[in-house]
Chain A
């Protein structure tokens, strides 16, 4: 795919991230874990790009590799025009001011013995802000994320999960970044608190012109917050579309199944909607199926192409790409869901 939108803040090109399996570290043979295996996409300036998929699909690895917390095995990550992977330690540190990360569990990313004021001041001091300026900035950041001014003298354990996520946000905002990679930022929170943090993320984006890569498994949350959504399966992107399009007209069979599996809090909808229940589990990224990686579970699988030809992302509607050989036939109703001969899974 050569999506060359001019307003890209980040451009990921054919990214691969492979890890050595634990078995090999202990001297035994084993295949590489192909966590991310040929992924390309853009993140446009000012947008929220949602990255969804189930555990093990590689979405977290993509996010972390963009910040170079993991080294890419192959491919390029361009931040504006700088190739992130080629930077030296010093240049990388300078660039990191502009890209920050927010984690799922803010408690494990805060030092329990460091008070909140110092936790927020740390990135400022590391990057050379001094004295009274630090104090003023910490005060301002606490206010921005909706924490009381006296929070600076308190410690992480004194805060609830939602408040800790606010602290995490204040830290990530300290250096005025352009990009925030948020990895499951609300998954650990109760629903009533989740909404507070989602609203805060939206407000902060407006106020500071932030660009978000929002990584999550909860499709309803991702749909709510994202402008565009990329769906991952087993180390590859299977579909990219504007958020509303993805929900209204999912094109890839995996996206269709994923959307139909999300419970909707409305019994009237739940009792009437059609579900595509996938059989079996996601295969291992150490030994992904040949051809289309989804063919072993796909309810629309065909005897030709699926098992031996890797599908590429094709633009099928404006701004809407999917990697499936048979999208047109499925959309026209010529191919309907059926048992998958590759699944090897008894029906019920």
Chain B
């Protein structure tokens, strides 16, 4: 049985004027200790999916589908029951640590609060454990820094504090939503190294949500590519990068400049703009931007189907291998 299982998750935001179809049928399993990447651009629904799993979407959101942890359904839990799971079994790290830490409480106070609430520690135990955690995530002089406020830490150090809070109760699932996007590249490398190391030593499963294909490549065993609220491709990370089959995945890979590119070649952008999410498409959501689109793409929604073991694609016309080789050689047809 998978540790976490998400089945046919839908999220809609309805207002008087319009409905936003943010997540449209997302399903996946997470095994214990697995590292899973979810890649997508802004508005693809990747963050909304994770907030739905945590049960922390605003009240107006309509969420349907099923989320189970160890076979136990989370969607029907009452608030108090969910609070016991959140932070203890499933914890989350956000992009901007400054907005998720309380600016008027010391870091020590915020960290010990988690420990006392979830683990029933007394004041002294919690304090010692907080020091151990800060030390664990690489904050120098941890004991002295318990009395500091969030603004006294740098961006990278604040993200370390957030990670310390997230792992305080030894959660089995850590969801990291763009944990390094706000950080400089050398600091990003520090935080990714820490996450890699934590996952390896603490036996935590990790869901890493990012727009950066490079980040996924370095840390995740499996990767899901998300577009317009749905997964369009999913595979082992090595397989996905070696043999991407969905035109959107191929487009993403072709449109980012690579630091290690051998010769300068023109980027192949994806034409057009991301889909407006105020309606559901009749066919493939990517069809308007896809040069492989056929009548079928416009009229029928493609389901994820397995085309190779463990490699699933939601596309009527997956990019053939021969064509990938041609694209790699820089012979890609126009834009």
Contacts and interface: CB of A to CB of B under 8 A. Distances in A.
B214 A265 contact: yes
Contact of A192 (B41, B194, B241, B260): B41
Given A190-B211, A275-B189, A277-B193, A263 B217 contact: yes
B213 interface: yes
Interface in B232-281: 237-238, 241-242, 251-261, 264, 266-271, 273-274
Contact of B256 (A195, A257, A279, A281): A195
A259 interface: yes
A192 B186 contact: no
B154 A220 contact: no
Given A199-B267, A275-B193, A160 B273 contact: yes
Contacts of B256: 191, 194-195, 220, 265
A279 B259 CA distance: 23
Nearest to B216: A265
B294 to A, nearest CB: 21
A199 B237 CA distance: 28
Nearest to A282: B184
Nearest to A344: B140
Contacts of A346: 135, 138, 140
A177 B46 CA distance: 41
Interface in A266-309: 266-271, 275, 277-279, 281-282
A107 interface: no
| Residue of A54, A199, A267, A275 ringed by the most chain B CB atoms within 10 A | A267
Contacts of B111: none
Interface in B212-226: 212-218
Interface string B271-297: 101100000000000000000000000
A220 B274 contact: no
Given A195-B270, A258-B185, A265 B253 contact: yes
Given A54-B186, A224-B261, A345-B138, 12 more contacts: A160-B273, A217-B184, A217-B185, A220-B256, A224-B257, A225-B257, A259-B259, A263-B192, A264-B218, A268-B242, A277-B186, A277-B190
A265 B274 contact: no
A162 B41 CA distance: 13
Contacts of A263: 188, 192, 212, 214-215, 217-218
Nearest to B142: A346
A271 B269 CA distance: 27
A87 interface: no
Task: Report, nearest first, the 8 A-B pairs whose CB atoms are least far apart.
Answer: A263-B214, A224-B257, A195-B269, A195-B255, A265-B213, A261-B189, A54-B184, A270-B218
Chain A interface mostly:
helix
Contacts of A160: 273
Contacts of B179: none
B157 interface: yes
Chain B interface: which size bin? 35 or more
A258 B257 CA distance: 17
30 contacts: A162-B273, A192-B41, A192-B269, A193-B273, A194-B255, A195-B254, A195-B257, A196-B269, A198-B257, A198-B267, A199-B266, A199-B267, A217-B184, A217-B185, A219-B259, A220-B259, A223-B261, A224-B264, A247-B259, A261-B188, A263-B192, A263-B215, A264-B258, A265-B214, A265-B217, A265-B258, A279-B190, A281-B154, A345-B140, A348-B138
Contacts of B194: 348
Interface of B: 41-42, 135, 138, 140, 154, 156-157, 184-190, 192-194, 197, 211-218, 237-238, 241-242, 251-261, 264, 266-271, 273-274, 335
B14 to A, nearest CB: 23
A335 interface: no
Contact of A266 (B190, B217, B268): B217
A196 to B, nearest CB: 4
A269 B215 contact: no
Contacts of B273: 160, 162-163, 193
Given A247-B259, A264-B214, A267-B238, A192 B185 contact: no
Nearest to B136: A348
| Residue of A162, A221, A262, A263 ringed by the most chain B CB atoms within 10 A | A263
Interface in A197-241: 198-199, 202, 217, 219-221, 223-225
A344 B144 CA distance: 14
A155 to B, nearest CB: 17
A163 B268 CA distance: 18
A191 B252 contact: yes
A87 to B, nearest CB: 35
B8 to A, nearest CB: 27
B185 A195 contact: no
Contacts of B193: 275, 277
| Residue of A54, A190, A257, A345 ringed by the most chain B CB atoms within 10 A | A190
